[in-house]
Amino acid sequence: MPLPRLLRTSSFRLTLLYATLFTASVAILLGIVYLEIRSYATDLQDEIVKREVQYLRRAEKDGGTPAVQALIEQRLQQPLLKSMRYLLQDRDGRVIAGNAPVQAERRQGRFWFQMPKGDNPKRIRTVRAYGLQLKDGRYLAVGEAGKAIEEFQGLQSALLRDIGYALLAVLALALAGGALMSHLMLRRVERLVRDTRAIILGEPARRLPVGSGDDEFDRLSASVNQMLDRIDAQGDSLRQVSNDIAHDLRTPLGRLRQQLERGRRLQDIGPLHAVLERATAEVDTALRTFASLLHIAQIGGDPRRLQREPVPLSELLETLAEVHQSAFEAAGQHFHTDIAPDLEVVGNRDLLGQLFSNLLENACRHCPRGAHVTLRAAGERGGVRVSVADDGPGIPADERAHVFRRLYRLERSRTTPGSGLGLSMVEAVARAHGADIALDDNRPGLEVRVRLPGVASAPAVRRPGA
């Protein structure tokens, strides 16, 4: 894989950012350690010098400047104090005693000065000192140049060197790790790109690989596969709808052409008007079919665009029951309701009314005289269950999965009025409301159950119909 492309990957940039932050963290940590060690060494030296100054000042109080001079000369002879540096000057800056360089400025308090180390002038030793003015105008300075500061300087050099090596090692490992991670990620991305291109170029059944790790690539592949399955299902549905339109509209369009041909041969106005009325009815049937298809497509589009509001479902179902009661009576059927009061759901009132109207009309149309149809509604945990049950001919089990397809009609129903879009409309409205719909055997007959998410309430109150 080309290196420039590898360096442009997001994984490599993220790794490099992480390495930079980690390196900065290491540098800050080591810097704090360095400052702590320096502070400790300086405090140690200050404590040694402070005690020596206090010792010499007590000698001054007891015997004056000569006592201080004698004590300095005495302490210079002690091997244990060879790291100490003393300086005693008179008013004119002449050295009275000591082994430290002359301090022309006569600095007061704590300060640093440098002096040659041994006989080599190029080797410099740093001394931590303390200076003060004595009562008679003389100047006293005491310093410490022992192993503590030398060891600290060595430790400082080693620490700085190790910091540099550590930072280089971190950057090298980060670059190597970033390149490796980028290579691995690019290899997976290339595989996904290869598979998606194959799908685009004519392999619609191909799917992206999904591993067992459940990482972000696996989740992405699974989501893309679900999307492809949905697209395939929609494509199959579109092809099926096209076939159904061609099959089901061919008959009314053929009849329409026959009517127009017959009307063209007629001379009398009366029969011609009758032919035109029948032709107009055929056109209206086709237009209603296309309008229903368009309505189903709009409902099944984006459910988020559906206008929702609290819907008093019990009231809506009671109203629909009263409206359809006369149709059942005219068909010689017995209609009953079993609707719990105060049921409420959130949705579109008009569409929900159309859903249950279609179910009632479907039962009325396909059930014979003397059949019993029951509309039930009851609350259950987390929702509301509504069902329309009849004891008519029902739907064979092997065809229940197909009746929600657009323009699909049972063979025995092709001679009856209708377009085969009633249950398709029901399924589209239910899906838009997040509802579950199921067809079951009522033994005999059919039961259509719709479960809507909503708020359940009181026990059912049975109201027999005519």
pLDDT digits 0-9 by tens, 273-315: 777 777 777 677 667 666 655 655 655 555 556 677 888 999 9
Q: Are 40 and 148 within one domain?
A: yes
pLDDT of residue 247: 55
pLDDT of residue 16: 73
d(C-alpha 203, C-alpha 97), whole Å = 100
In a domain, 170, yes or no: no
Contact 248, 420 (CB under 8 A): yes
Residue 36's domain comprises 3-159
d(C-alpha 243, C-alpha 204), whole Å = 21
* pLDDT(386) > 80: yes
In a domain, 202, yes or no: no
Indicate the pTM of the whole model: 0.46
Q: Are 269 and 386 within one domain?
A: no
Q: pLDDT tens digit string along 42-83?
A: 787 788 888 888 888 888 888 888 888 899 888 888 888 888
Q: Are 57 and 135 within one domain?
A: yes
Q: Are 236 and 333 within one domain?
A: no
Q: Are 9 and 86 within one domain?
A: yes
Pick from 363, 415, 421: nearest CA to 244: 421
Asked whether the bond before 444 is cis by omega within 30 degrees of 0, the reply is yes
* pLDDT(329) > 70: yes
Average pLDDT score over the chain = 76
- Which of residues 361 and 22 earns the better pLDDT score? 361
Contact 306, 432 (CB under 8 A): yes
Q: pLDDT tens digit string along 194-208?
A: 888 888 887 777 888
Helix (H, G, I), strand (E, B) or coil at 117: strand
Mean pLDDT of 95-103: 84
Total domains in the chain come to: 3
Q: Are 447 and 329 within one domain?
A: yes
pLDDT of residue 376: 92
- Other Cβ atoms closer than 10 A to 343: 27
Q: Are 287 and 341 within one domain?
A: no
Identify the band that residue 414 occupies on the pLDDT scale cut at 50, 70 and 90: very low
**Among 267, 299, 331, which residue terminates a domain?**
299
Q: Are 142 and 234 within one domain?
A: no
- Which of residues 411 and 191 earns the better pLDDT score? 191
Mean pLDDT of 440-465: 68
In a domain, 172, yes or no: no
In a domain, 182, yes or no: no
Q: Are 239 and 276 within one domain?
A: yes
Q: Are 417 and 351 within one domain?
A: yes
d(C-alpha 395, C-alpha 60), whole Å = 121
What percentage of the chain carries pLDDT values higher than 70? 76
**Among 299, 332, 367, which residue terminates a domain?**
299
In a domain, 166, yes or no: no
